[in-house]
Amino acid sequence: GTFWGASAGWVISQEKFFQNAGLDKIFSNFKLRASYGIVGNNQGINDFAFWSFFGSGLYGTNPSLAFSQAGNRDLRWETSKKTDIGLELGLLDGRMNIEATYFMNDVNNLILAEPQAPSRGIPGNSILQNVGSMTNKGLEFTLNYRVIQKKDFTWNSSFNITTLNNRVTALAAGGADIQPATSGLERPSMIRVGESIGSFYAVRTAGVNPANGQRIFLYRDGTQVQYNHAAPVAQRWTLLSNGAVAPRVADQANDGVIIGPALPTWTGGWENTFRYKNFDVSMLFFFSGGNYVYNGTRAGMLDQRSWNNTTDVLNRWQKPGDQTVIPRVVFGDNISNGSGVVISENIEKGDFLKLRNITVGY
């Protein structure tokens, strides 16, 4: 591949017209900058990913040869067209410095391991392909401020925040969805045109029926059904409205919907450093949010098969009228709490604020 880039900056505060206008008394620094470039990426794939390989082994005492990697001779560089437009400002004789940047990253020939039908006999049931394109765009803002500057006491503060809008704009095979698997059996993510990459995809739930302790699921059209693992197989799914046998089960294929993005839509940090004579204290806060997290551990640890549960199960439904989000206990039930089918109950908001570091010195 051939990739190139260019950048330019203009320090307006050094121009005579700026100084003649007296603006240098307000701004100690005023700079505009911009860049554009095309960057190639092949990270996240093994060497020689375009080749097909066979591997040797033993079947008992007999030597064997088996298909070990399905290559793709048409695999190309993933390319990112990056645009950045920024502004730098210095105020209060340099005590306050501000940086603001708009960025746009247009990714083409996106490299992903596209799932394949098991019947094709491809190792790992996936093959690397250039499946489409996506965009990342947003704003970056940084503020550095020397708040207090005294002989025996100083306080310096730095704040930054970045926003991100990620969208898949095209996929192969006519824009067909891609649903990658986790290391377990669940497929909680969806790659879909028009959505953030890897958005969570699940069947919606509406709590637990207080009358009988059964989990309430929603069909894609909003119809509410409930699940009873203790009933005969043909009668386990019933309509909440009248108790009649439901026309079908609730599953991701028919009833899954996009719940929200896995990628944070905003992240940032806030650092403060204080000094008093020979003592200094530094604190760094980190925050992130606008995204969701799939709690697969919770799904597994509320599964009613032969393994441990979390203490959340103590809050299960036990008698008519109980108000809870944990359904009644039925041995063997791996549906009601999301182990057998990905449910919105186990997709949680990912917003957080964390005090990451505290440093005290003398």
**206-223 confidence digits (pLDDT tens):** 999 999 999 999 999 999
Overall average pLDDT of the 253-277 stretch: 97
The phi and psi torsions of 252 (rounded to 5 degrees) equal: -65, -40
Residue 335 near residue 341, CB atoms below 8 Å = yes
If one counts every other C-beta atom within 10 angstroms of the C-beta of residue 353, the result is 10
What percentage of the chain has pLDDT greater than the value 90? 76
Per-residue pLDDT tens digits for 146-204: 999 999 999 999 999 999 999 999 998 778 898 887 666 678 999 999 999 999 999 99
Tell me the Ramachandran region of residue 125: left when phi exceeds 0, alpha when psi lies from -120 to 50, beta otherwise: left
**pLDDT > 90? residue 115:** no
- The predicted pLDDT at position 126 comes to 84
Per-residue pLDDT tens digits for 191-205: 999 999 999 999 999
- The predicted pLDDT at position 52 comes to 92
Q: Are strands 126-149 and 165-171 parallel, antiparallel or unpaired?
A: antiparallel
Residue 201 near residue 254, CB atoms below 8 Å = no
- The predicted pLDDT at position 183 comes to 61
- The predicted pLDDT at position 185 comes to 67
CA distance 115 to 112: 9
- The predicted pLDDT at position 152 comes to 94
The CA-based angle 305-347-266, given to 5 degrees, is: 150
Per-residue pLDDT tens digits for 19-30: 899 898 899 999
**pLDDT > 80? residue 254:** yes
CA distance 329 to 234: 20
Please name which of 194, 187, 189 lies closest in space to residue 171, comparing C-alpha atoms.
Answer: 194
Q: C-alpha distances in angstroms, 9 versus 32, 141, 144?
A: 6, 18, 21
Sign of CA dihedral 187, 192, 198, 204: negative
Residue 114 near residue 127, CB atoms below 8 Å = yes
The CA-based angle 46-47-52, given to 5 degrees, is: 90
Across all residues in the chain, what is the average pLDDT? 93
